[in-house]
Chain A
Amino acid sequence: MKHLKFISRTVLVRNENVDEACRILNRIMGSEGFLDQYRRTRYYEKPTQMRRRINYEKCKAVYDEDMKRKINFVLRKNRPEPFPGCY
């Protein structure tokens, strides 16, 4: 389906604050991976480079997930003793 112009990838400017609108647009484009894909397709990516990149991304995702769990565990709230090990 063709994306409707001025509906998709559009941010309305509020209170004449153009900078904020641009920043939000950039943020959304970046977090959805559009900008990365655009940058990646400027030059041909050799199959070996692609495999290396994908493997790296997989490893990073696993590490990030574990690290996130760890941080959440350390920062968890409503525990019986609020500051364990600190007297």
Chain B
Amino acid sequence: MFVRVFRDLCRQTGYSNEHNVVRRCLHVTQQMEKNRDRRSFLASVPRIDEGTEGEKFVYIDSAITKKEDMFPDMNTSNMLFGGIKFSDIPICHIKSSKNNTILHVTKPSGERIMIRSCGMEGFKNTRKGTNIAAQATAIGLATRVLELGIHTVRVTIQGLGPGRMSSIKGLTMGGLKIISVTDDTPISWNPLRPRKQRKL
């Protein structure tokens, strides 16, 4: 800070070598530069991927298309997808948190068929909490599940994290057919007291 004040003093008194220096008020300059530094710093930090693509912006082509048949009704559970009833199709539970992604394929009753997580896939520490790890895990899970003869799944997602969208993408890349996407995030309007805020 002192260096900046000194530099500005030089500019004011004309000691600077540069000729085309804009003369600015010392105090204002300092305040503004501080503000600008913070703004540029924040701009340079990459935004955290929470897997909420489409939350703030609408894509034109999806805004135009009709959406009536995209939402389930009372008859949906009896609809047939590839010869199987909707309610009998296995479920893929995805729990994406800040530091990990867990994928869990179950029968409709809840019995486990297969579970994979980024940690099991060989990613360790901070690499677990990336969208690449989530996608690789999902592809691995999809190939294993296809060997068991499961081709279509329903997907439920829990939590916001880097694996929220990318794991679904990985499932489709692995060859599974997804017929529905459900958000299962536990949200409470009168929650228990959460942990205290982080000090930054």
Interface residues of A (CB under 8 A from B): 5-7, 9-14, 16, 18-27, 29-30, 34-35, 37-39, 41-46
A-B contact pairs, 29 of them (CB 8 A): A6-B72, A9-B183, A10-B180, A10-B182, A10-B183, A11-B70, A11-B71, A11-B180, A11-B181, A12-B76, A12-B179, A13-B179, A14-B69, A21-B70, A21-B180, A22-B165, A23-B54, A25-B183, A27-B54, A30-B52, A34-B183, A35-B52, A35-B55, A41-B187, A41-B188, A43-B194, A43-B197, A44-B196, A45-B197
What CA separation (Å) do A44 and B197 show in the bound complex? Answer: 6
Q: Known contacts being A6-B76, A41-B194, is A13 close to B178, with CB within 8 Å?
A: yes
Contacts of B178 in A (CB 8 A): 13, 18
B80 → chain A closest CB, angstroms: 13
Give the nearest-CB partner of A46 in chain B: B197
Seen from chain B, the residues whose Cβ lies within 8 Å of a Cβ on chain A are: 51-56, 58-59, 62, 67, 69-74, 76-77, 86-87, 154, 156, 160, 165, 168-169, 172, 177-185, 187-189, 191, 193-198
Identify whether the interface residues of B are mostly helix, strand, loop, or mixed: loop
A23-B53, A23-B54, A26-B52 as given contacts; A12 in contact with B180, CB under 8 Å: yes
Question: Given A5-B156, A11-B182, A12-B72, 16 other A-B contacts at CB below 8 A?
Answer: A6-B77, A6-B154, A7-B73, A7-B76, A9-B183, A9-B184, A10-B72, A13-B181, A20-B62, A21-B180, A22-B165, A26-B54, A34-B187, A37-B189, A38-B187, A43-B198
Partner of A44, one of B58, B72, B194: B194
Q: Which residues of chain A are near B55, meaning CB under 8 Å?
A: 26-27, 29-30, 35
Q: How close is B48's CB to chain A, nearest CB, in angstroms?
A: 11
**Chain B contacts of A45 at CB under 8 A?**
197
Report the minimal beta-carbon distance from A85 to chain B, rounded to whole angstroms. 32
CB distance from B195 to the nearest CB of A (A): 6
Q: A38 contacts which chain B residues (CB < 8 A)? A: 160, 185, 187
A18 touches B172 (CB 8 A): yes
Q: Which of B51, B62, B154, B187 has the most CB of A within 10 A?
A: B187
